[in-house]
Structure formats: C-alpha cells, structure tokens
Amino acid sequence: MNYHILKQRRTSVIREVFNREWTRMNTHRGGRRRSRWARALTTGLLLCASLSAANAQKPMATVAPLPERVETFNIKTRSELNKEIPFYVRTPKNYHSGRAYRMLFLCPYLNQEGLEKLAMSPEWLALADLRGWFILTCTFKQPKEAAQDRKVSYYYPETFSGRALLEALDISAKKYQVDTSRLLMQGLSGGAQFVHRFALWAPDRVTAVAINSSSWFDAPNDKCNRLAWLITIGEADPSYNASLDMVDRLRNAGAAPVFRSYLGMVHEGSPVVDRMDMEFLKFYDELTDKDLGKPRSALTPATERLALHGEKMPYVGDSQDWKFMPNTAEAKDNIPEDARIYLPSSGIAKLWGQKEEEP
C-alpha cells in the first residue's frame, strides 16, 4: 500500500468537510469566534490525520520466534551496562523427567548475542541432544575499553555476572531436573575470559571448563584442582605466552590442565579446537554422569578427584612435538617436565596428537 497517497487522500477529505462547515458557521452570529474554533479543530484533525498516516508507515515490529526447545528469561543486575541479562535455555531432545541432566554453559564472545551463539553452534547442539545436555547461554554487553575494569566488566564474576549466572541456574533447576553443581563450560575469547574466572570463583559448581584464546587470566587459587581444565591457543595469537603462563600456574596450584596450541592460528575459533573441546567435555561428562543429582563437595566422589590427577591419567604427551604415549615412568622421564601434558583418555590423546594438516 502507498501510504503517501493514503495520507494525501485523508487530508483532502477532512479539509473539504471542514472548509464547508467553516463557511456555514461564518454566516451565523458569532461567526468570528466559531471561525477561530473551526480553524483550531480543523488544524487538530489534520494533525491527527497526518499522524495516523505516518503511523501506518510503521507497522508494529514482530518478535522473532525462539529456536526449537529454547526458552528465555531475564536476570536483573546492578550493572549499568547489563541491567537485564537475557538468558536462553535449550532443552535436549527427548527430555523427560525422572533423572538428573547435565548443563553445558556456552559463553558468547565479547558482545555476541546469546541466540547468535546458539545459531552458530550446530555441532554443539547436536552433541547436546546426543548426550542429553541442557545448554545455557546469555547476552552480556560492554564496550571493549571496559574489559579490564573489574568494577564494571562482566569478565569478573564477582561484580555481577557470576551471581546472574547462579540465579539463572537456580531458575532452570526449579523447572527442570538439571544438576547445577557439575557444569560443563566453554568459551572463546571474551567467553573464555568469563568461564575461566567463573570456574575459579565457583569451583564447586564446575566439573570441566574449555578455554579457547583467552587474552589474559586471573591467577588460580588453591581450589582450582577440583575441576578439569583445557586451554587452547593459536601460536600466532599475541596472547600465546599468557596461556603458557596460566598452564604453569595451574600446575603449581595442583591442577593438571590439558594444553594444546595450534600452528598458524591467530585469535580465532576453529573446528579443530571445537572437536577438542567436545571430546574433553564429553569425557568428563561420562566420568561423572553417575553422580549427577548427588551433593558435591571437596570429599565426594573420589572418582572425580582421582581423574584430575595427572599421574593417574592413562597417557602422557610431549608438547614439543605433540606426540603421546602410555603414561609410564619411562615415558615421563623422557619428556621435560615443562613440556609434559597428561591426557585423560585415548579420544583426547588422539585429537591432541593430531597434526594440524590432518582432517
């Protein structure tokens, strides 16, 4: 429809009607006063007609439907930059009550929309359906220059973002049978900034975390050995040394991080990295699946703690050439300590030892 023609037509009709009435009223006593009244009324109605036509040019915006099995809710915070954080929960295919389910938190990169994160993660969605994982994501916002401001940046969970995530987990657990004390977490770049700090801030909520291309890190604490760590980085990434330093600090604090760098990769995502993340998180899901829904503490269950000790892992790798072998005393002695990476499963070891050019 041509809204410009509609506007002209409405204006013409109203002008004709009120010109006729104005002439009629001016032929009677008090015409001057009525003339002024008529002019005012005409002007008002002409304005209404104009606004009506203008509004017709702007149809009401429609809200795009959410993806299948995705629902949303907002969490209010004290942050001026994130007064209301939209969270999105995706239910796994064939979900039914009667058992506890895993929750995977996928953290978007800086200023990425949560729905975009889901849309760009079809492999993660397929894995979640296969494994019976819920997926939780959200939309954090901040200017790039605020990233290192601990008072306002969502990278630092103690400000507001950590409590917002805990509240979102509580809301999810009230509706679904989901274990919110054994999270799997994954993040790239700005997402890695948040997930690694949340794992340090709330280690009793996290089973395993995959950190990809984080530009800088917070120092690990004495509770970091309660969860499993995967750190990946491109060897052409300016933050390469920061990742090496974090691996050393985690080791010194008693953790056994899996570290992998990739030749030629800069600050970016990669299908190779995604496959490593998935295999890593899948392993720890399998390891702790039987304990979902049970209380978790530093004392229980023993299988979770033992699997985090590097010396107990079945494979050991040499990060100088990305070769791995069974974890024996002889093998360990042949690898320099700072290049020694313990690998918890054959699937992880095979991906870890895969050359970059291999499919």
Mean pLDDT along residues 344-349: 96
What's the mean per-residue pLDDT of the chain?
A: 85
Q: Of 300 and 243, which is predicted with more confidence?
A: 243
136 and 12 in a common domain: no
CATH number for position 192? 3.40.50.1820
Residue 311 pLDDT: 80
Residue 309 pLDDT: 76
34 and 182 in a common domain: no
The DSSP annotation for 215-265 comes to S--PPP-TTGGGSEEEEEEETTSTTHHHHHHHHHHHHHTT---EEEEETT-
Q: Is residue 250 part of a domain?
A: yes
Residue 273 pLDDT: 97
Q: Name the DSSP class of 144.
A: G
38 and 119 in a common domain: no
47 and 138 in a common domain: no
103 and 18 in a common domain: no
78 and 102 in a common domain: yes
Q: Is residue 16 part of a domain?
A: yes
Cβ neighbours of residue 219 closer than 8 Å, sequence gap 6 or more: 249
Residue 299 pLDDT: 58
Say what the pTM is: 0.81
For residue 350, pLDDT over 90 is answered with yes
| Structure token digits, residue 209 | 């975390």
**Number of domains the chain contains:** 2
Residue range(s) defining the domain that contains residue 25 = 3-56
pLDDT, tens only, 265-286: 999 889 999 999 999 999 999 9
Q: Are 147 and 190 in contact (CB under 8 A)?
A: yes
330 and 224 in a common domain: yes
254 and 283 in a common domain: yes
Band (pLDDT 50/70/90 cuts) for residue 171 is: very high
* Distance in angstroms (rounded) separating the CA atoms of residues 125 and 134: 9
Cβ neighbours of residue 179 closer than 8 Å, sequence gap 6 or more: 100, 101, 102, 103, 292, 293
